């Protein structure tokens, strides 16, 4: 039995869900999201909650049970509070600034990096050394944050680069004479 899958997903005030076949659509104050589950699980809508149950005892059905419940819960969280990833920039002269829909990054290259912000995600730079990525789709927010981080990953000798807030970078000792 899946401990995660057994729990029903409660819908907070202001959030509505509709189930049609294998598709769940959740509407909330931040927008609308939908998810199509596999045929191994059954989705039911009770009074103010969505329930996921497996359609058999096969290994695949049990795997899909907990995963589907987590996906539907992420839809509810996304349309109510949204998801957020924070990035920090470390390094002398490294900075970020928003210019319309383009994130301008100075990362020690001979040129500025212009990162076009995709639809469905908002990127802000409250400080020159901070970047905040927000949106209602957890996967999309994480992917955009990873794409920004890929421009200059933190290196182990001086720790310069773009890192997630609170990320630990293992530091190495330099070469000795």
Mean pLDDT by 10 residues, the chain (177 residues): 85 92 93 93 91 92 92 94 95 93 93 94 94 95 96 93 94 87
| Domain C-terminal end among 80, 114, 140 | 80
Q: What is the dihedral of CA 157, 161, 162, 168, to 10 degrees?
A: 10
Domain that residue 155 falls in: 83-164
Distance CA 120, CA 131 (A): 16
pLDDT in tens, 92-103: 999 999 999 999
CA distances from 149 to 61, 85, 100, 136 (A): 36, 11, 20, 20
Distance CA 77, CA 84 (A): 11
> 122 with 89, same domain?
yes
Q: What is the pLDDT of residue 162?
A: 95
Distance CA 7, CA 171 (A): 42
| Domain C-terminal end among 24, 51, 80 | 80
> 155 with 92, same domain?
yes
> 74 with 126, same domain?
no
- Kindly report the CATH number assigned to the domain that includes residue 9: 3.90.930.12
Q: What is the pLDDT of residue 88?
A: 96
Q: What is the pLDDT of residue 83?
A: 96
> 54 with 111, same domain?
no
Q: What is the pTM of this model?
A: 0.87
> 92 with 114, same domain?
yes
> 140 with 109, same domain?
yes
Phi, psi of 12 (to 5 degrees): -70, 170
> 70 with 90, same domain?
no
């Amino acid at each position: 039995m899946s401990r995660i899958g057994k729990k029903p997903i409660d819908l907070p005030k202001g959030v509505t869900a509709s189930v049609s076949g294998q598709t769940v659509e959740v509407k909330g104050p931040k927008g609308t999201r939908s998810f199509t589950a596999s045929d191994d699980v059954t989705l039911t809508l009770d009074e103010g909650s969505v329930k996921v149950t497996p359609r058999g005892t096969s290994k695949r059905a049990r795997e899909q049970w907990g995963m589907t419940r987590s996906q539907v819960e992420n839809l509810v969280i996304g349309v109510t509070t949204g998801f957020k990833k924070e990035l920090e920039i470390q390094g002398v002269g490294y900075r970020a600034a928003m210019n319309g829909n383009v994130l301008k990054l100075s990362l020690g290259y001979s040129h500025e990096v212009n990162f076009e912000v995709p639809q469905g995600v908002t990127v802000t730079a409250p400080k020159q050394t901070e970047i905040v990525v927000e949106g209602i789709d957890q996967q999309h927010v994480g992917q955009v944050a990873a794409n920004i981080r890929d421009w200059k990953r933190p290196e182990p000798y001086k720790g310069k680069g773009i890192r997630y807030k609170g990320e630990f970078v293992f530091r190495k000792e330099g070469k000795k004479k």
